[in-house]
Amino acid sequence: MSIEWKGVMPAVTTQFTANDELDLDMFKVNLKAQLDAGVHGIVLGGTLGEASTLSEEEGRKLTRETVAFVDGKVPVLMNIAEQTTQAAINLAKTAAEDGAKGLMILPPMRYQASDAEVVTYFKAVAQSTSLPIMIYNNPIDYKLVVTLDMFAELLEACPNIQAVKESTRDTTNITRIKNRFGNRLAIMTGVDTLALESLVLGADGWVAGLVDAFPAETVAIYTLVKADRIKEAIAIYRWFMPLLELDINPRLVQYIKLASVHTKIGSEFVRAPRLVLEGEERVRVIKVITDALAVRPTLPDYKSI
């Protein structure tokens, strides 16, 4: 199996009903909006997908429903964020059985592993599956960094490790990766507020968050940058920035879901212990969203570029 590691891949939200059940109808409304905008892949089961709150049955159901709905138009990737190596291997196996075409894998969760332990963990999962893999490198949130030397060892041992979701917040890392590994390791930027800069510096794609509410604007920025129409991309990006900053907050799930309510492609229901926004925080976030919508830009015909 192979994936073309480029373009915009939404880290999609999981939609719930008011009764805390999966809302597959609204979930498919959002999926359709993503496909209509021209995204290049779908990432399930990440932070925005509230994966840690889903049962195994719910996670598998989401995967199967997404694969069926997407119907081969773009690859579906499952995120793996587990506490044990065996649990990660088991999830890789069931993801493949349910039709996922790739995996995004985090380091071991809830344990401050050594470099050797992290490398051994990634190797064990990668060598248990034929699915192509993107390593999620996010030391800011997960307190473990995957260094270039660690990547060198992984790439030599595991040909199916093919990409990194680069979320170190250090854009110079993009150049270091390119200088060291060339095209062997694709780079998918994972920080919305650094996306344009990362794409200009050579990132191959964007695993995005606010795309869940604004898919067309997200894909337009990517497409314009790759077409060297930088000024047009910057104009959209500057408009987008107050919204993109919703992605770098501990309550990014609630913020982005609330934004998707205002664009009519999602609901704001979250699963406990998360709570729907209330009070001054809710008022503040709604103002960010409505202020942006009041001056929402007219996009160029980016699909024809």
Q: What is the pLDDT of residues 77-109, one digit of tens each?
A: 999 999 999 999 999 999 999 999 999 999 998
Beta bridge partners of 105: 80, 135
Task: Tell me 160's DSSP state.
Answer: T
Domain that holds residue 17: 7-304
Residue 258 counted as domain residue: yes
- Residue 123 is assigned to a structural domain of this protein: yes
Per-chain mean pLDDT for the chain? 97
Q: What is the pLDDT of residue 1?
A: 52
Q: How confident is the model at residue 142 (pLDDT cuts 50, 70, 90)?
A: confident
DSSP 54: S
Q: What is the pLDDT of residue 109?
A: 83
Flag whether 93 is in a domain. Answer: yes
Residue 2 lies in a domain: no
Does the residue 175 lie in any domain? yes
Token representation of residue 58: 């719910």
The crossing angle, in degrees rounded to 10, of helices 85-97 and 115-126 is 30
Whether 31 is in a domain gets the answer yes
Provide the CATH number for the domain around residue 31. 3.20.20.70
| Count of the separate structural domains present in the chain | 1
State yes or no: pLDDT of 158 exceeds 90: yes
Residue 77 lies inside a defined structural domain of this protein: yes
218 or 141: which carries more pLDDT confidence? Answer: 218
Element (H, E) at 186: strand 186-189
Mind listing the pLDDT tens digit for each residue in 174-226? 999 999 999 999 999 999 999 999 999 999 999 999 999 999 999 999 999 99
The pTM for the full model equals 0.97
| pLDDT tens sequence across 36-68 | 999 999 999 999 999 999 999 999 999 999 999
Q: What is the pLDDT of residue 91?
A: 97
- Would you call 55 exposed, middle or buried from its count of C-beta atoms within 10 A (0-12, 13-18, 19+)? exposed
Determine, yes or no, domain membership for 30.
yes
